[in-house]
Chains A and B, each alone.
Chain A
């Protein structure tokens, strides 16, 4: 490998040719501040915060260089911390702050905002530059994401993630000069755009310009209402990420504290385990797959638990909607079970059951508004979908000292689940859980439970398994750019498989748009997706029961209510339909 030699703050470094100054500095353990930089996703030198001074052949170079894009060259001497550099950064920050709505007091990103952190580091107190404000109307029309362009610093990270990673590109740079801003075409609301709601823009925003549409107040009201029976359940990935909101190390499993915290949010708050409906999804989906294979149904079957993926397909590949499994997502299945079976068993009026799902995702907030998830009796399956971040804020507001809470269990009867349900939160997990149950169905003596081949880390995995003489080929991808590749392969006849698992967010739900937002340092330097996933796979490995069909709760619900997989009862409550949306703006 060809390398180049340079000095950074007088420290000699040797780096591969093609490295930027920023990467070379990293190797010399020197941090250069950035705002617009997102490793591998957004390297455009736009924010001018990473400027450095440099000398070549002993002679000072003209002007400052943007470290995130300027290549490390042989003989270059870089200085990251000179008075000229500091002055430039400070002025840049002050210019950014001039156009930034500085109402930090109640801003969701206050204390975790990258701009605020740099302003503090560089002592940007005085307002040297004044701008007009407020300049933009806040877009809070969609049920999932709120954009406040008055806080946007135009780093273009949201635009880059939407375009380069998700290949959706519903947002872009609009106009020029002072009027330049980020938004959907024709400045339409996200609600009217073919946005899939994945929320990757939110988790990659360095400031508070993007956030989920908060519904905490609605939940507080329900908790305070004596008529309402408030039932929470938490998605498989939440246990692996919630701790980060309380400064616990990435990948800490906080399942017990999470159950304890939610129970303490108010009197008579119930907390169930959504891994149960992940197991339930597997039973229904495995049955559906077998039905499709044996009766000549549409193949390959696509998983349907990720609402960002479902909406992506409805917008951009409507011709593939028949491939989607008709199974509702675990979130919706749980709500439907609670407002039917559970209500009847406990003599509760479904009207008074207030279902709160805690999900890693902004698209799930859209999902709960789907008219297809409204029962014949006109009950919405789920009343409110809260992101991990919203739950963390509720726990803080309740004054609970999360890290010292005792470890408690979920409430019966929906407390027990399997490792197969837990790994739903990581890419490949749904397929692996399905394979465990399918293999058991086909061959009762089949021993393998770890299907590591589908876990990654390659962006697209296709694996063929042979069980009891039956060959089954599966494909897995996360990130909608990879999903698009799989769809194009299927269209071109290059991929012949029976089942495809797609998660809209890279890495799956553990990196969902509703998860705690990693700092820029973590985003750019730590494989946090792998660490969060490992927490789920460790949880699975240590689970007493690994395969969904072994769950006692699953046995109970089929014995007492659903009869059998694919029965008319399960079709009424656990299955749904899709629509062809097309990608035009409303």
Chain B
């Protein structure tokens, strides 16, 4: 079976404690799983297997049930998000202007797929549906910054800028 790439799980004592409290506080109400997952994702940024297992044990249900819910809703992420979150718009306008090629270029450059995070934790890629800047199509966002009228060649330069900044800050 093909294993998905999994980042090593790290947590602080505060996060661990917060998760226990979230489970305890919610577990009495029916349908507690969904709010618990929401809050857990706020604490950890994503829902790794370790967190889901603890939620399952806390609610007395199986991990596969938790995983089923976590993968049903697109709001939940199973992979950590990078320091810089790249969001490539695949809305109609961007798509007809070649957004798929932009996404492919980002994936190629970083060596990860949409929904994943680079090993060094610097970038994560996601796709989104319309950021309301159709006039600039194709568009991608990195954190809060919008980059428009993109070509694959521009993607390289933009990403290099972030990589360079990171190198200088070290």
Contacts and interface: CB of A to CB of B under 8 A. Distances in A.
Given A169-B61, A169-B62, A584-B53, A174 B1 contact: no
Interface in A177-203: 183-189, 193
B1 A172 contact: no
A571 interface: no
Q: Which of A176, A185, A193 has most B Cβ within 10 Å? A: A185
A308 to B, nearest CB: 17
Contacts of A163: 62, 65
B1 A186 contact: no
B43 interface: no
Given A163-B65, A173-B72, 5 more contacts: A141-B1, A169-B64, A185-B52, A186-B67, A187-B1
Contacts of B2: 137
B72 A176 contact: yes
Contacts of A187: 1, 4
B62 A175 contact: no
Contacts, number: 53
Q: Which of B4, B71, B78 has most A Cβ within 10 Å? A: B71
A185 B67 CA distance: 6
The 8 closest A-B pairs by CB, nearest first: A169-B62, A172-B64, A185-B67, A185-B63, A172-B68, A185-B64, A189-B1, A175-B71
Nearest to B1: A189
Contacts of A585: 49, 53, 63
A349 to B, nearest CB: 38
A274 B98 CA distance: 68
B66 interface: yes
Given A175-B72, A176-B71, A584-B53, A137 B62 contact: no
Contacts of B1: 137, 139, 141, 187-189
A258 interface: no
Contact of B64 (A139, A171, A176, A584): A171
A186 B4 contact: yes
Interface string A550-586: 0000000000000000000000000000000000110
Interface string A133-166: 0000101010000000000000000000001000
19 contacts: A137-B2, A141-B1, A168-B62, A172-B62, A172-B65, A172-B67, A174-B64, A175-B72, A176-B71, A183-B64, A185-B49, A185-B52, A185-B62, A185-B66, A186-B67, A187-B1, A187-B4, A188-B3, A189-B1
Nearest to A180: B72
A170 interface: yes
A430 B66 CA distance: 37
B154 to A, nearest CB: 31
Q: Which of B53, B62, B64 has most A Cβ within 10 Å? A: B64
Interface of A: 137, 139, 141, 163, 168-176, 183-189, 193, 584-585
B68 A174 contact: yes
Interface residues of B, number: 18
Contacts of A174: 64, 67-68, 71
A211 B25 CA distance: 43
A176 B72 CA distance: 5
A181 to B, nearest CB: 10
A585 B49 CA distance: 9
Contacts of A141: 1
A188 B71 CA distance: 14
A584 B72 CA distance: 22
Contact of A184 (B3, B4, B64, B66): B64
Contacts of A169: 61-62, 64-65
A187 B4 CA distance: 9
Interface string B41-55: 000000001001100
A584 B49 CA distance: 10
Contacts of A171: 64
Contacts of B66: 185
A175 B73 CA distance: 8
A69 to B, nearest CB: 21
B49 to A, nearest CB: 6
Contact of A170 (B3, B49, B64, B71): B64
A187 B64 CA distance: 9
Nearest to A191: B1
A406 to B, nearest CB: 47
Contacts of B68: 172-174
A139 B65 CA distance: 20
Interface string B147-162: 0000000000000000
B75 to A, nearest CB: 12
Interface string B115-131: 00000000000000000
Contacts of B71: 174-176
Contacts of B72: 173, 175-176
